[in-house]
Amino acid sequence: MAAPGENLRINSDRLWDSLMDMAKIGPGIAGGNNRQTLTDEDGEGRKLFQSWCEAAGLTMGVDEMGTMFFRREGTDPNALPVYVGSHLDTQPTGGKYDGVLGVLGGLEIIRSLDDLGIRTKHPIVVTNWTNEEGTRFVPAMLASGVFAGMLEQDWAYDRTDAKGKRFGDELVRIGWKGEEPVGARKMKAFFELHIEQGPILEDEGIDIGVVTHGQGLKWLQVTLTGKESHTGSTPMPKRRNAGLGMARVTELVHEIAMDYQPDAVGAIGHMDVYPNSRNIIAGRCVFTVDIRSPDKEVLDEMDARIRDGIATICETLEISAAVEQVGHFDPVAFDETCVKAVRDAADRLGYSHRNIVSGAGHDACWINRVAPTAMIFCPCVDGLSHNEAEEISKEWASAGCDVLFHAVVETAEI
Ligand code: HGY
Ligand code: MN
Ligand code: MN
Ligand code: MN
């Protein structure tokens, strides 16, 4: 397979303009984005993306989870396509680049191939996976998980948001429930460009992260039940305070994660208190423990220790607990051939690079189970993400997309 020439580059201005245009849809309140999955804003972003892809001559397919596939024909229509993409949905206080860079980077490859009059042997398919973030509907990477056969589609349809709306109903409401059975598509490979969402590349002054692995994740939804009572007249020994329980579990999760440094993280980002009244002892608290590690044994050990710790806290405070695992994937080792294509591309293009393990979860983590998969990271300012202040430079975006371009074109063969 001929490797692409080092002069093969994307159009940096056009990529940046598309990122800025997409960022105008579902604006946040502090310069970022709030384009949560299956909201009207998500629907608007999908429509804009569809218009761009169809203007580039791509044909659209949509599966039963709403994932969007845009296909550019190759010289061999029977050759397995090379997929490239990420997600357009954002966190409620998300940035302009998390996920979006990978989707629009895929489109930029198509536009650049057209500029250069290049037709690859294998078709190329640009993809927007539904509900990568898992913030409105738990868990994260929902559609790619169903595509990989790791999550049940009916279970996914029944996931409800904080207002009790069903995923399946919202998909119909915004008009993006496709006809295509999920997971029927076969791929030669899948590549995902993404911002690092951590500080390593920027701190080390490195252009490209060659993602060799992704850490494993567990989300445990915990419901602590105590007894609502008056915050003024209930004697301290008589209280059954679910709020105190949640505070202790929050500390417990942090302490346990700190026991496994540097290879573990743990936090509780989602917390609901009921009835959430200033002068009522919290009778019920529902929250989600997010623990991650590149080491499966560590992740399982943290899980077990947290469950034990919750039982002890409940006994002391005379409250009860229900713990449900609502999200999980094991640590991932990406495909070595695809990872090598990424590393060779960075070398050929003269970009500095280093191997890196992904701290965040990505659709690629699931797709790696059904197709050879690799990821490319670009740096982000202060390593910040899942914050409206998320920022990257145009140069970082272009370097990442150039490497994506070479890895995809080499795999799709010219
Ligand atoms: O949670 C994650 O790692 C991803 O951002 N959804
Ligand atoms: Mn993402
Ligand atoms: Mn994210
Ligand atoms: Mn497991």
Over residues 368-395, the pLDDT tens digits come to 999 999 999 999 999 999 999 999 999 9
> Distance, CA 68 to ligand 3 centroid (Å)?
18
The answer to whether the CB of 95 is under 6 A from ligand 1 is: no
Task: Calculate mean pLDDT across residues 333-344.
Answer: 98
d(CA 249, CA 247): 6
The answer to whether the CB of 290 is under 6 A from ligand 1 is: no
Q: What is the pLDDT of residue 277?
A: 98
d(CA 383, CA 63): 34
What is the position in ligand 1's atom list of the atom closest to the CA of 98?
5
pLDDT tens string 344-354: 999 999 999 99
Q: What is the pLDDT of residue 358?
A: 98
Q: What is the pLDDT of residue 68?
A: 98
Percent of the chain with pLDDT over 90: 98
Nearest-Å Rg of the Cα atoms of the chain is 22
Residue reference for tokens 């710790």? 309
Which residue among 362, 377, 387 has the greatest number of ligand 1 atoms within 8 angstroms of its CB, and so is best to mutate?
Answer: 362
**Distance spanning both ends of the chain, measured CA to CA:** 8
What is the position in ligand 1's atom list of the atom closest to the CA of 360?
3
Lowest mean pLDDT among 1-10, 160-169, 196-205, 358-367: 1-10
> Distance, CA 72 to ligand 2 centroid (Å)?
24
DSSP-based three-state secondary structure for 244: helix
Task: Calculate mean pLDDT across residues 52-67.
Answer: 98
pLDDT tens string 271-317: 999 999 999 999 999 999 999 999 999 999 999 999 999 999 999 99
d(CA 118, CA 109): 11
What is the position in ligand 1's atom list of the atom closest to the CA of 135?
6
The answer to whether the CB of 42 is under 6 A from ligand 1 is: no
Write the ipTM. Answer: 0.89
pLDDT tens string 80-133: 999 999 999 999 999 999 999 999 999 999 999 999 999 999 999 999 999 999
DSSP-based three-state secondary structure for 15: helix
Q: How many CB atoms lie within 10 A of CB 179?
A: 8
Q: What is the pLDDT of residue 3?
A: 73
> Distance, CA 317 to ligand 3 centroid (Å)?
35
> What is the value of pTM for the model shown?
0.96
> Distance, CA 361 to ligand 1 centroid (Å)?
5
Pairing of strands 68-72, 189-195: unpaired
Q: How many CB atoms lie within 10 A of CB 112?
A: 20
Q: What is the pLDDT of residue 1?
A: 52
> Distance, CA 280 to ligand 3 centroid (Å)?
35
> Distance, CA 287 to ligand 2 centroid (Å)?
22
Q: What is the pLDDT of residue 109?
A: 98
The answer to whether the CB of 133 is under 6 A from ligand 1 is: yes
Task: Calculate mean pLDDT across residues 254-265.
Answer: 97
Q: What is the pLDDT of residue 4?
A: 78
Model confidence band, residue 39 (pLDDT cutoffs 50, 70, 90): very high
Query: Does the pLDDT at position 143 exceed 70?
Result: yes
Q: Is the peptide bond before 262 cis (omega within 30 degrees of 0)?
A: yes
Q: Residue 68's beta-bridge partner residues?
A: 62, 128
Pairing of strands 189-195, 124-128: unpaired
Model confidence band, residue 5 (pLDDT cutoffs 50, 70, 90): confident
**Residue-averaged pLDDT of the chain:** 97
Nearest-CA residue for ligand 1 atom 6 is 133
What is the position in ligand 1's atom list of the atom closest to the CA of 133?
6
What is the position in ligand 1's atom list of the atom closest to the CA of 386?
5
What is the position in ligand 1's atom list of the atom closest to the CA of 91?
5
**Taking ligand 4, which is a single-atom ion, which protein residues have CB atoms under 5 Å away?**
330
Model confidence band, residue 323 (pLDDT cutoffs 50, 70, 90): very high
> Distance, CA 190 to ligand 2 centroid (Å)?
15
Q: What is the pLDDT of residue 6?
A: 75
The answer to whether the CB of 132 is under 6 A from ligand 1 is: yes
Q: What is the pLDDT of residue 388?
A: 98
Q: What is the pLDDT of residue 7?
A: 79
Task: Calculate mean pLDDT across residues 39-58.
Answer: 98
**Rounded to 5°, angle at Cα 128 from 264 and 192:** 50
The answer to whether the CB of 74 is under 6 A from ligand 1 is: no
Q: Which ligand is nearest to the CA of 196?
A: 2
